[in-house]
Structures are given as C-alpha cells and as structure tokens.
Amino acid sequence: MNLLNVKSVDKSYGGVIANHDVSLNVPEGKIVGIIGPNGSGKTTLFNSIVGHHPIDSGEINFDGKEISSLTIPKIARLGMLRTFQQTHIYGKMTCVQNMQISSDIDANWKRIFNPFSKEVDEMVDELLAFVGLYKKRFLLAGDLSFGQQKLLEFAMSLMKKPKMLLLDEPTAGVNPTLINGLIDRLRQVNEEKGITLLVIEHNMRVVMNLAEHIYCLANGTMLADGKPDEIQNDKRVIDAYLGN
Amino acid sequence: MMKENKQNTLIWLGLAISAIVPLLLPNHITVLTYIWVMIILALTWDMLGGQTGYTSFGNILFFGVGMYVCAVVQRDMFSSGLERFERVSEIVVNLSVSEYFISLAIGTISGAIVAVILAIILGSGILGMRGHYFAICTLGLGHAAAEITSGIEYLGAGSGMVAPLYPSEFLMGKEVFYYYSFLLVAVATFFLFKKIYKSQFGLALNAIRDNENKAESMGIHTTQYKIAGWSISAFFLAIAGAGVGNVIGFIDPVEIAFSGPTFGVWMIVMAILGGKGTIWGPVLGAIILYSAKETFWTYLLGWDKVALGLLILIVVVYFPKGILGYFKDKKQLSDSVLSPKGEG
Amino acid sequence: MITYIQILISSPEFLAQLIINGLLVGAIFALIAYGLALIWGVMDIINFAQGEMVIFGGYLTYTLFYQFGIHPILTIPIVAIALYIFGLLIYKSVINRLLGEKDIFITILATFGLAILMQQLMQAIFGPDVVTANPELGMLFLFDGQLIISNVQLVSFFIAVFVGVAMFILMKYSRMGQAIRATAQNPRASRILGINIEKVYANTFAINAALCGIGGSLVVMVWTIHPFIGLVYTFRSFMIVILAGLGNFLGIIFAGMGISSLENVTGFIIGAEFQAAVIFCLLVIILVTRSIRARKRREYIQ
C-alpha cells in the first residue's frame, strides 16, 4: 500500500518551472530516495508535499487523504514531518526542551498547564541517547555544532511518532565519520519503529546504501526511477549528473 | 534545589515585608499600590512580548476595557440613576458596604471576561500575522478604543465616568483595601505565570519565539497558543484596570483608561528594562522604573515625560536584553569558560 | 448618520467638494507614505515615528512663520534641510545600531521609542496646544461658488506633486538614487559592487525625514497640528503603503488620494472625531482579510 502518492504535480515560481508533471509513490514502511543535480526541484517537491506553498496542479495523497491544499501544521498532525537542509531548531532552549516540545503536546491539551509527564521525559532520554546527544542534553540547542543540530532535529521529529519522515539531505554537513552511524540509525528507525522515509540525498553512497527505490529528478521533471542498481546504470541519470 | 529554596525564602521575605509596609509607611501607600499595578502590567505584557517574542503595542486596550466594564457594572448594578443627571460623567453612585464590594467583584470579573473575549476575537485576526504586520495592527488598538469610547455617551463620552464612593463605614480604609487587593492579584499573577512558563504551554510559547516555522512544521497550533497567551494577559490586565479606575476615582478614555503614553508605554519599558522573557525581569523592571519615576522624576519639572521617552530609546537600543538578560549572558559566558570543554 | 448620507445623496456637489478636498490633501499623504515605503523597502525598517517626524516638520514651519516671519511656503526648503540633518543624526545614533538585528521587533521598538520621545519633546518645547500656520491665500470659487477650493490646498497639492516628481527623477537618474534602488534589490550584491551601503542607508533615512518634513510643512498650512496627532499620519502612511505595495510609486499616489477622499467622506458621515479609529480599523480589516486569504494559499503575510 502506498502511504504517499504524488500525482503529476506542477509548480512554478513566476515563469520558472520548478516541478513539471512529477509523480512518485512511497509504499508504507519503505525507504525511498530522491536524487538529482542541484536545482532539479527536489526541495521544491518536498515543500509542495509538506504544505509550504500551493501547487499549481496535481494531486498529493497521504495516508488516504488529499493534502495538497492543507497547511503545514495540519499535514504535520496527520503524521508527516520533514527536516530541513539548514537546521531548524529552537536555539535558546536546551536539547531536552527541544525534545519535550516536540512530543505530541496538543494531543493532551488538558494537561497543557502541567509540566511534561514521566513518559515524555523517558522518551526524550531514550531518543537523545539514540542519536548520541545524551551527554549534551542540557546545552542550548543553538550552541551545538551543525551536525549535532541535524541529529537533534532528527530526534525531535521522532518524538512525534510520525508515520512518515521527509529528510532533506540528512548527511549534508555531518562529519563523515558520523555518516555511517546515521545511516544505521535511519535504517533502525525504519525497521523498528516502522517509519516510512523519503530522503533527498546528494551523497550517492548513502542513498544507494539506504534506499530501496530511487527517483531521479532533473530540470524539474522525473527522469527515471528504479532500484538503486538500475539507477546507477541508467544512462539518462549519468548524463544528467554529468551535465549533458 | 538549593537555589530554588533560596529563591522561595526571598519571595516569602519580600511578601512579609510587603504585607506590613502599609503600616510602616502610611503616607506612601498609593505609590506602593501602584508598584503592584505596574508589576501586573509588566508581567502580562511579557507573556506575549517576552515569552513568544511578539511585541504588542496595544495591550493597554484590555486595561481600559476592564476599567470601563467594571465602572459600568458598579454604576448600574444597584442604582439606575442615569436619568437623574444631565451628564453621565457627573453620576456618582453611593453604595452600601455590601453593594460596593459585590458590584466591584462582579464588575472586575465581567471586565476580565469581556477583555478575554476581545483578546480571542482580535487575536484570531491579527495573531495569524507575523512580524511587522502584527506590530502595526496592535499600534492603534488603544488609540482607536479611546476615540470610540469618547463618542459613546453611555460611557460618559470624552469626560469619562466617576467611580462610586468608597463606603467610609467599612472597617478598612480605601487605600489599604486596594493596596492589599493589588498585592493579592500581583502575587497570584506572578505565581500563575511562573507555573505556566514551566509547563508545556510555556515551552510552546518559547518555541514560537525561537523558531515559529519549525513549531508550525512540527504541527504545533501556534496561533492558538498565542491567542491563549494573549487572553491570559488580557484577563489579569483587565482586573488591574478595574482596580486602577477605582483607585483613581474617575475614568477618562484618553488620559487614564487607554492612555498609551503612560500605562501603555510603561508596561513595555518595564518588561524590557528588567529583562523580557523572564519571570523576574518584569517584576524588577516595574519596581525600578516606578520607584525612579516617583522619587526623582518630579524634580525634572515637566521634562519627566521627555526623560521617559529618552529612557525607552536608550533601553531598547543599547540595553535590549535588560538587567536580567545582561546578567544571564555574563553567567553563561563564565559558565562556558569555566566548564571543562570536550565533554561528550 | 443616515441624515448625513441623505445630504450627500441629495447634493452631489457637496460630495464632489469632499472628494476634491480629499484628492488635494491626498497628495501630501502620498508624499509621506512614499518616504515610509522607501525605508521599508530599502532598509526593512518599519518607522513608527513617521507621523512624529511630520509633526516636527510642521512645528518648524510654524516657528519660522511666527517667530521669524518667514512665509510658510518659503520655510519648506529650510524644513527639508533641517529634517534631513535630523534624519542623519537619528540614523547615526539609533538606526545604525539596529541594522542586522535579527529580531525585527527591536527595530520597531526603537522607532516606537523615538516616537514617544519626539511627542514628549514637542509637547515640552511647543506646548500642548493646537497650532496652524495658514498663509491665508484666500479661496477659489468654481462653478458659481458651488465648488470652493482653498488656495492653500491647491498650492500644497502642487508642491507635493512637484516634490514627488523631483524624487522620482532623483531616484531614477542620480547616482545616489540608483545606489538606493540597487541596495533595495540586493544589499549584498551592491556591497560587492562597491556601493557604500552605510551611506546609502543614512541617505535613505534622511531623505525620508526630509519628505516627512515637507509633508509636515504642508500639513500645518492646510490643517492644524498638535504634539500627539502624529500617530494618525503614521497609520495613514501604513495604510497607503499596504494598499499600494512597496516600490509602487503610482500606486502610492492613487492610494494616498483615494484614502484621503474616503476619509473625508466617512469623516463627514460618522464624525471627524473618529478619524484615527476609522483609518486604523480599516487598516486592521484589510490586513486581516489579506492574512486569511494568504492562509488559504498556504502562506502568511509577514
């Protein structure tokens, strides 16, 4: 069953066509990758999916619901979260607070004027340990390094127990020695928590390793899709990357 | 833990002193009352202005609304003397002890409720906007309210209304009664806000301040939280307004109820001076600014308001983090220097 | 209220009178709004002290007229230069320190503080009374006296238009104007291309102050001022800029005249004492509708 269905989405800024007739399917429980040269419209597609801007035409279906006209918070509450290329965290709050506020506070609004519950705090500790930030939990998030902020943002989205995560270049800016660990964690999240992942990635090694199915965008259109080894040997993809 | 205990001791000590101060300084009781009022004003402004970072220039609206609603209830609840007078602004009602306090209580609460309703309605409209536009939309709230009130004869139009006479037969004097009332409201506001800022709700407000886009993308109902915060502020601000109307004894739309250049500006300056976004900052700012204003500003002979304007500019431009923010920064700096690096 | 509407319907020449008065004065508002749009667009500063600068200019003209006997119209260049220098001083002492400040509210608060300070200073110096500097130029009777236009309004209209056209030409052809426009589009690129951003900002802010000063001189000739009326001019400027959009010169002129006429008519119908409230409520209504519409497009206005 497909958790996310994107059907012939068009999006242009002024006269510039960012996405044209883009379709993709993300089956539930899988890891899907999106690759493409710079400016091929990957992030635009992400933004269209999560509700950052309106789309010109097409359909976006998530978990059986049409979401192409919903706003960001509504889509997030349906269980689809995204992380950003540039980190978005709450800089003047500690890591623990960043995590706490990411728990589903709206769900138990009757307790909104109480402190966070034991369960939330346990989950915070567990997830911070999972991404390796436990020792830094009382530091201000704004004081972390860029790579650590990325990990924190990843952990924050896990607090919400999403159905699906959209990760925009999760390894960009992360120390190369940490990348393998990150791949393992992404896979772990997918297997153990059953979270579907859609990943934009520039690092070919990472995406070939991680994804079960890969879509390749070029110049705003869907160029090819297939299994990693198929994509790797696809002449059109190679040409797109070599700038032909 | 130790720190918390020390803080609590300080609070109790401060409250004990505050409770006996009117006996020691009976001549300054009105000034002391106003310090409590100012603390409420600064605390309520900081809920939105400090905790969510949404600078509101129009909170004075709720102050004035509370004042007017309370005054109307006090005037009309036990006597319908409207017809006997030529002008509304001349009506002075004489109430018995029980009538006075019942109408005061009901008036205050109705004022607070009306203010909350207003905050919800206005908030749903303008709190969906961000940055510049939010600020622009709050700038004229007080001014517009003053103009509209000035045109309503039922509210005494431009000349305002007179608060009912305090029943002299009551065992407690007017000044003392209002001193303790404001002490109570201010302390209640303080502890409630302290609790709120430590709760999930408080953290949501801070999340909006730090990164509203992120908060939205995590599915937090940002606008609802802002509206709720503003409504809580409006509630306590209206209570303060209702009381101040009675302390002064008469109400007028421009100079007292919706007075942007006095109460409206003070609340902002006090919160920023003390340190916005903290619980103690507004309290500290209120005490410092109001004591300063009362002690030496009278010597400035008419230039006191100019001095206030200058102070606002200096505080905002050169000292935007306020007193507590300044010390916090210093402490953080020394912490990061002292703490061993490379841990973890 | 209904009787007033009936008056307007039964005597269209009176309605025309109100609208023409509005159009004439609207040019002054447009001039002030243009200054606001300029610093908003170039420096991303929302100036809450816009109205106070206007009133300050008005008081200067008033003082020069009554203390030194200079004809109000002749004070305009003096006031413009004085306000230009005033603008430079404010820039150097206040605005300069806030550029690059991430928290936009700090800049807004600073201009708000400036507004309060100027109000209080003007009250302390010039007193709280309502003043005017009407040069008594007489009236112009048109259509057998059915339409009366006071000459001072006509003159101030032409002065405003003249200054507006001059600004337009300056912005288009002078070096500084070009630098300002380049900076508005992309400050970083302009800096790399060797434009002195600091100087551009200082000049932009000072030009705005000068425009406010000229506006103030005209206002004090046509109407009256007092130290606390500035807020109304600030609202009007915001209203015009928000209706027209930043950097839309013609739009600002039309919006200025339109709002001014509308204000005259509503002022007649529901009373001039609600002047500020009417403009402000309109402003809020426009912004709220826009915000709701933006929400539907998955956007928000900021």
C-beta atoms of A53 and C298 within 8 A:
yes
Q: How far is B115 from chain C (nearest CA, A)?
A: 18
Q: Which of B196, B213, B219 sits opposite A77 (nearest CB)?
A: B219
Which residue type does C48 have? F
End-to-end alpha carbon distance in chain B: 25
Domain count, chain B: 1
CA gap A164, A198 in Å, rounded = 8
SS3 of residue A218 by DSSP: strand
pLDDT score, position B227:
94
Q: Does position B238 have pLDDT exceeding 90, yes or no? A: yes
CA gap B95, B84 in Å, rounded = 16
Mean pLDDT in residue range C247-251: 80
HSE (CB half, 13 Å, CA atoms) of A59? Answer: 9
Q: What is the pLDDT of residues C63-104, one digit of tens each?
A: 999 888 888 888 999 999 999 999 999 999 888 888 777 777
Q: A51 — contact with chain C (CB < 8 Å)? A: yes
Q: A69 — contact with chain C (CB < 8 Å)? A: yes
Cβ-based contacts of A112 with chain B (< 8 Å): 199-201, 204
Name the burial class of residue A193, with classes exposed (0-12), middle (13-18) and buried (19+) by CB atoms within 10 angstroms of its CB: exposed
SS3 of residue C171 by DSSP: helix
pLDDT score, position A7:
87
pLDDT band at B342 (very low <50, low <70, confident <90, very high): very low
CA gap B184, B188 in Å, rounded = 6
Cβ-based contacts of C295 with chain A (< 8 Å): 71
CA gap A5, A65 in Å, rounded = 10
pLDDT band at B3 (very low <50, low <70, confident <90, very high): low
Q: How far is C105 from chain A (nearest CA, A)?
A: 17
Which residue type does C73 have? I
DSSP annotation of A142 reads G
> Nearest CA to B271 among B312, B304, B223?
B312
- What is the Rg, in whole angstroms, of the alpha carbon atoms belonging to chain C? 20
Domain count, chain A: 1
CA gap A87, A170 in Å, rounded = 10
Domain carrying residue A41: 2-242
pLDDT score, position B344:
33
CA gap A21, A6 in Å, rounded = 10
C-beta atoms of A54 and C295 within 8 A:
no
pLDDT band at B87 (very low <50, low <70, confident <90, very high): low
pTM for this predicted structure = 0.89
Out of 3.90.550, 3.30.160, 1.10.3470, 2.60.120, which CATH number does the structure's domain C2-296 have? 1.10.3470
CA gap B250, A73 in Å, rounded = 47
CA gap C94, C115 in Å, rounded = 12
Is residue B216 included in any domain, yes or no?
Answer: yes
Higher confidence at residue A39 or residue C201?
A: C201
How crowded is residue C133: how many other Cβ atoms within 10 Å of its Cβ?
24
pLDDT score, position A203:
80
Is residue B295 included in any domain, yes or no?
Answer: yes
Tell the residue number behind the tokens 């919706």, with chain if given.
B258
Percent residues over pLDDT 90 in chain B: 32
pLDDT score, position A35:
87
SS3 of residue B127 by DSSP: coil
Q: Are A26 and A3 in contact (CB under 8 A)?
A: yes
Q: Does position B294 have pLDDT exceeding 50, yes or no? A: yes
3-state secondary structure B270-290: HHHHHCCCCCHHHHHHHHHHH
Size of interface A-C (CB pairs under 8 A): 11
Cβ-based contacts of A91 with chain B (< 8 Å): 210-211
Q: Does position B1 have pLDDT exceeding 50, yes or no? A: no
Q: Are C26 and C261 in contact (CB under 8 A)?
A: yes
Q: Does position B243 have pLDDT exceeding 90, yes or no? A: yes
Pull the structure tokens for residue C26: 């609207």
SS3 of residue B320 by DSSP: coil
Mean pLDDT in residue range B205-233: 91
DSSP lists the bridge partners of residue A214 as A33, A226
Is residue B332 included in any domain, yes or no?
Answer: no
Is residue B329 included in any domain, yes or no?
Answer: no
CATH number, residue A133: 3.40.50.300
Determine the distance from the C-alpha atom of residue B16 to the mean position of all C-alpha atoms in its chain, rounded to a whole number.
23
Cβ-based contacts of B53 with chain C (< 8 Å): 103, 105
Name the burial class of residue B194, with classes exposed (0-12), middle (13-18) and buried (19+) by CB atoms within 10 angstroms of its CB: middle
C-beta atoms of B272 and C109 within 8 A:
yes
Interface of A with B in 117-176 (CB under 8 A): 134-136, 156-157, 160
Helix axes C50-68, C230-244, angle to 10 degrees: 130
Subunits next to B (3 or more Cβ pairs <8 Å) are A, C
pLDDT score, position A236:
81
At B25, give phi and psi (nearest 5°). Answer: -120, 65
Which of A102-111, B277-286, C44-53 is predicted with the least confidence, judged by mean pLDDT?
A102-111
pLDDT score, position B83:
54
Domain carrying residue B143: 36-324
Q: What is the largest CA-CA distance in chain B?
A: 80
pLDDT score, position B170:
79
Q: How far is A230 from chain C (nearest CA, A)?
A: 37
DSSP annotation of A222 reads E
- Point out the residues of chain A with pLDDT beneath 50: 244
CA gap A176, B41 in Å, rounded = 52
pLDDT band at B151 (very low <50, low <70, confident <90, very high): confident
Alpha-helical (H) ranges within chain A are 42-50, 72-77, 95-102, 118-131, 146-159, 176-192, 204-210, 228-233, 235-242
Q: Does position B193 have pLDDT exceeding 50, yes or no? A: yes
pLDDT score, position B82:
54
SS3 of residue A229 by DSSP: helix
Best probe of the A interface among C298, C299, C300, by most A CBs < 10 A, is: C298
